[in-house]
Chains A and B, each alone.
Chain A
Amino acid sequence: MDLSMLLLSDGYFLAIKIVLILGIILQVVPLMVWIERRGSALMQNRLGPNRLGPLGIIQSLADVVKFIFKEDSIPGHVNRFYYLAAPMVAVIPAFMTFAVVPFAGPIVFDGKELVFQIADLDVGILYILAIASLGVYGIILAGWASNSKYALFGSLRSTAQMISYELALASSVAGILLVYSTVNLGEIADLSGYTFNLFGLEIPRWGIFLQPLGFLIFLTSVFAETNRLPFDLPEGESEIVAGYHLEYGSMKFALFFMAEYFNMTTASALLATLYFGGWQLLPGMNLIIENIGMSGSAQEWLRVGFQFASFWIKVAGFMWLFVWVRWTLPRFRYDQLMDVGWKVMLPLALFNFVATAAVIAIWR
């Protein structure tokens, strides 16, 4: 059997996809830490880490080495079992959520359709919502098991925050589900390839053009969901020291840290897929593919490559937005967060849902 045939047979192709995605999201962590540190430094007129490697890019590697070689001490006052379980509970859902995100368009190879999505689940978004909510258990468990006031406060805040934001998050997604009438992320990305006509303008059917209000609500809720500023109350350095991961050191702390960045990646990927057309080519890329002078199978693979690139460019844009917002906005006060969650976001999300449903019902 030909090697490329073997590599593209079902089992091998799945393994390749898993390794590729795992590799990418694992690499995202050190890269994002570096971007975060350099970006924040430049925003504050500092330089940031710039000694190790070109522009200090190897700094995160040194951080990793430090985390691994640090003494792995467990405080005497904790509940050992849950204390050790918490980082795992936090990091595993973070790994799992990316499975249903499509990262390139399907391609027909040897009469078989190859889908660039680890698990082509029909429940798509529902799977992500379900698994992403599990992530909060890691935080709650860490807070309770640590047997420390600050950590407990951190997890308490996390719980309250999750309750006030998941509702708005899910309701804003409901609008998208109405528009595309599917929960399968692959189909949503596929459907955003079409265009619609608005006052003579050809506009791609991306979520942001169909659901602008839903996008703003989703974006805000996702910031709360990933515990990033301005909603990083569970961590709240200036108020409760480090919140839920106060009693954690070395690699166990690093796992919480990684979970935050994985969640960020997944959230960005979800934002890109639902509202920015996922792997649909960025404007202009179509012209490049057509004029580069390839044809047939080669051109198809080139298209997949460009789709892969445009997906990650969109994701990178949202990742940068996370960093950018973090170093711009101060933390919300606890009651303000509740206010915004229950009194503003939830009604707006419900309004968006009802209005979308009404518009669709009238147009059909």
Chain B
Amino acid sequence: MKIKNHFGIFQRFYFIEIFKGLMITIRHMLFTKTVTIQYPEERRQYSERYRGMHYIKSVNGVENCTACMLCPTVCPAECIHIEAGERADKEKYPIRFEVDVLRCCFCGMCEEACPKDAIKLSNIYEMAQFKRTVYDKNYLLEQRGGK
């Protein structure tokens, strides 16, 4: 353990060292660029791989999802709830598809597990709501912030 620092006479006369310090702060004040991003007008550029709000990809108005249940199985937060059903043009489709965003940890494992490229995570990161929110199928089917 270092107990005592040995300073020279000029360092012990504080004022010179303090003056050097003052010069550092004034240099930062006058000549260094600020790093602030002024949020609503200016936005940070996130990478393409950013994991934000979920959406279900659809092709020609038909959702890619076949209700195979791989995503609720793999989901560590257990926030995806799917109820499967059948309809004329599709053998198996999700009647209900809900993501409980309050539980979601945005790990992206649903996206990885999906064989049909149906559930995806977009770039959208402004997800604050006034109420406790569960995204239902209609909400998720809107193709927003796609990659």
Contacts and interface: CB of A to CB of B under 8 A. Distances in A.
Nearest to A46: B36
A178 interface: no
Contacts of B30: 42
* Interface magnitude class on chain B: 10 to 19
A47 interface: yes
A46 B18 contact: no
Contact of A328 (B18, B33, B35, B38): B18
Contacts of B15: 216
A42 B34 contact: yes
B38 A47 contact: yes
Interface string B10-51: 000001001001101110111011111010000000000000
Interface in A305-338: 324-325, 327-329
Query: For chain B, what secondary structure do more than half of its interface residues adopt (helix, strand, loop), or is it mixed?
Result: helix
A325 B28 contact: no
B21 A328 contact: yes
Contacts, number: 37
A44 B33 CA distance: 10
A329 B18 contact: yes
B34 A327 contact: no
Interface string A171-183: 0000000000000
A98 B30 CA distance: 33
Contacts of B28: 42-45
Contacts of B33: 45
B128 to A, nearest CB: 20
Contacts of B29: 39, 42-43
Given A43-B28, A324-B22, 15 more contacts: A42-B34, A43-B25, A44-B28, A45-B32, A45-B34, A46-B34, A46-B35, A46-B36, A216-B15, A324-B26, A327-B25, A328-B22, A328-B25, A329-B18, A329-B21
Q: Which 9 pairs show the lowest CB-CB distances between chains A and B?
A: A42-B29, A47-B36, A43-B25, A328-B25, A43-B29, A328-B21, A43-B28, A45-B35, A47-B34
6 contacts: A43-B29, A47-B38, A327-B25, A328-B18, A328-B21, A328-B24
Interface of B: 15, 18, 21-22, 24-26, 28-30, 32-36, 38
